[in-house]
Structure 1
């Protein structure tokens, strides 16, 4: 049977989509109060054409049946809060912990709709900011290296000579060194290959500021990996903040200020090391589900199938 015809027959006749009670408002909101648990995650994902949806999931379901608590179109706090407050206060008070990123809208939703829940900022969002600042430093040097090489090529052509770039001991040119260092900067030195270790030595010798930025990233990572209590984490974060101030890096100062504004929810991670990994994992399932059907042509039908499986 033709695949498109089978899909159409399933949508129009074999499934309950035509009589789905939530179909009228599916594009705006879907709420399943029965799936609320003590530990929730809230995150955003794109379903179709980059349009963002806010998704609340139950950690206990582990991405299976009963995982979806609510799906909302967009990320504005107001409409989401309006629908969540329709759930009884008793049911919402069952939530003891909710993991989220540093978006103000997410925090507002959590505070107003689940007032008894402890908010935990996902550590990986914090680390991601630091890694992006590190990569920005590398990219700035890479553009400068490209400009320098272009000038050298023009100069060589003007003199009628072939351009021969300078090679470092590992065979990289300056431009290649900065481009090929991208992935090693994401990893801990313990996980470097021998080639990456050699490249890092050359990179850090040529660009000491990248080494300083890399050490800041590793310092933040070690705080999350090795600290066992909120008190110790608070002290270490204060020392890290001081190190950032001493470097004078604008991007890292921005991150440090962001951390200081969200320090309470960030420190809550150290209570029992909760992360938003379950939400990210569920987002990956949605993307795989979307790819399986080659995109989302009918948003309502996609949400129907998604909630049938996961809600």
Structure 2
């Protein structure tokens, strides 16, 4: 076991580019290494960090920050319809997606260019353009911090919801995801009706690669590159409201955007709500709302996490005041 330098900046390890410090910083590539580090950290604060693409640090971490570096992609087995692929939690998610596309394994092409690592995919139940990770999820292995042993989680065990799982709910902070197994299709079913995918495809025949490339173009046109401007993608979840509530709001705001959901509920576009409140393109110091996508909060360079958090609070209150809808943050606040 080798700890990295003390008082280590985490700026390069979170896509917001927030310059906070960790008292200690280390990485692990296996459950054995993880166990050693957890034993060393006994009595100290412990934070496990993946790709840093869905977190907002608001202050220094007085404890040990562990970076998940479990690597490897392996085809476990296959049948006539599916391949079962295991990926280490520390693998780049988009790198894994492109690995699958290159082998004509279908199911994750709509999730192209989502930042972060594989381990965050089931934790957040990531989703985009009509597809969620639970659609292709088979199982995962996670290490219990309390029992120092590995458990296998099936889809039912994970309790997937909209950008939710058991790892963000009742088991939050109790397990560290080591690897994920996905069941991908040899005979693809293309999802092109959501967003602008069909329009972006134009005359191209749908294929795994064509859809991936269309998604990448759409995302790049709407979302800022974290390498150029600090952000964590969508900062807020799209809220769901009862159908009758949406109908009343639609009378007041005819242009309001919503998508039918389960049990008569309607999912409302949070970005539209925020834009309607006048926040799109807003900037205060180096904290702001992106000019092309109001759902994305950004760090223009030297913003502190507390600045971005305060801005998100103002946005929450303004949306609630105008629409009576309470937004929920998708990004994890670390303080």
Tell me whether the two structures share a fold, i.e. TM-score over 0.5.
Answer: no
- Structure with the bigger RCO (C-alpha within 8 Å, sep 6+) is 1
User: TM-score, normalized by length of structure 1?
Assistant: 0.29
Q: Which has the higher helix share?
A: 1
Give the structure with the larger strand fraction. 2
Larger radius of gyration: 1
